Amino acid sequence: MEVLDEQGQPRIAPFRLPTLARPSVFHEPESLAPASFTVGSLQRLEIGDTDSVRWGPPTQMTSITASTRHHLATAIMVAFNARLATLPKIALVHLCKAVSKLLCQGFNRPGHHHRSSYGNESSFGLYPRPTPRIPVTSELLKEFLHAVYFAMK
């Protein structure tokens, strides 16, 4: 993942959150009911629309440590999610399987562990030994949710 662009400047991905004050692929402000949105109310909404959200630049890392792995995994998932539409279906299938396995491991109750086979209950033994739980940050979980949601569409 590149941290700098061709000119050596940090890569920053700015984007503006959609509001009712500006046209978008979802609506045209003029087509909304005139009684619900007056010119004054749309102008008040537009005042708060001047801020844009910026993501980046990713932090440069020379090695992966316990303290940087969540940030790195989140940055990789952000880049991956930006290209979801261009990926082949098999990549999306493997994505869903990997996320499911990562998030389901570590539970020892019968309904919560990841099953590799649904036809063979004896493969788990009488008391299946739970695999270690891998902690996931809320940012990484959000990126996983985004990826799986759009992969299943």
Give mean pLDDT in consecutive 10-residue pieces for the chain, a chain of 153 residues: 69 65 63 60 60 65 85 88 91 93 73 54 57 85 92 86
Give the pLDDT confidence score for residue 142 in this predicted structure.
92
Give the pLDDT confidence score for residue 144 in this predicted structure.
94
Give the pLDDT confidence score for residue 41 in this predicted structure.
63
Question: What does the alpha-carbon distance between residue 111 and residue 98 come to, in Å, rounded to a whole number?
Answer: 18
Question: What does the alpha-carbon distance between residue 119 and residue 16 come to, in Å, rounded to a whole number?
Answer: 49
Q: Does residue 122 lie in a domain region?
A: yes
Q: Does residue 12 lie in a domain region?
A: no
Give the pLDDT confidence score for residue 68 in this predicted structure.
86
Question: In the chain, how many domains are there?
Answer: 1
Backbone angles phi, psi at 89, to 5 degrees: -60, -35
Q: Which domain holds residue 100?
A: 70-153
Q: Does residue 19 lie in a domain region?
A: no
